[in-house]
Amino acid sequence: MAYVMVDIEADGPIPGDYSMICFGAVLVEEELRRTFHARLKPVSEKWVPEALAVSGFTREETLAFDDPKAAMERFAAWLTENVKGRPVFISDNNGFDWQFINWYFWHFTGGNPFGHSSANLGSLYKGMVKNMSQNFKHLRKAKHTHNPVDDAMGNAEALLEMKRLGLKIGL
In a domain, 62, yes or no: no
Q: Domain count for the chain, please give it.
A: 1
* Structural contact between residues 68 and 44, judged by C-beta atoms closer than 8 angstroms: no
In a domain, 145, yes or no: yes
In a domain, 34, yes or no: yes
In a domain, 131, yes or no: yes
pLDDT tens digits for range 89-142 = 999 999 999 999 999 999 999 999 999 999 999 999 999 999 999 999 999 999
* Structural contact between residues 25 and 43, judged by C-beta atoms closer than 8 angstroms: no
- pLDDT bracket for residue 170 (50, 70, 90): confident
* Residue 165 main-chain phi, psi, to 5 deg: -85, 0
Which amino acid would we find at residue 63? L
In a domain, 81, yes or no: yes
At 121 the pLDDT is 97
At 92 the pLDDT is 96
At 69 the pLDDT is 98
In a domain, 18, yes or no: no
- pLDDT bracket for residue 171 (50, 70, 90): confident
67-77 exposure pattern, b = at least 16 Cβ within 10 A, e = fewer: ebeebbeebbe
Domain extent for 77: 2-8+24-38+67-164
At 110 the pLDDT is 98
Count Cα neighbours of 51 within 13 Å in the Cβ-side half-sphere: 17
39: Cβ–Cβ under 8 A, 6 or more apart, which residues? 21, 22, 57, 62, 65, 66, 71
At 96 the pLDDT is 97
In a domain, 52, yes or no: no
At 43 the pLDDT is 98
In a domain, 46, yes or no: no
Answer whether residue 163 shows pLDDT above 90.
Answer: yes
Alpha helices in 9-93 (DSSP H): 49-55, 59-62, 68-82
At 169 the pLDDT is 87
At 12 the pLDDT is 98
pLDDT tens digits for range 15-74 = 999 999 999 999 999 999 999 999 999 999 999 999 999 999 999 999 999 999 999 999
Alpha-carbon distance of 129 to 95, in angstroms, equals 21
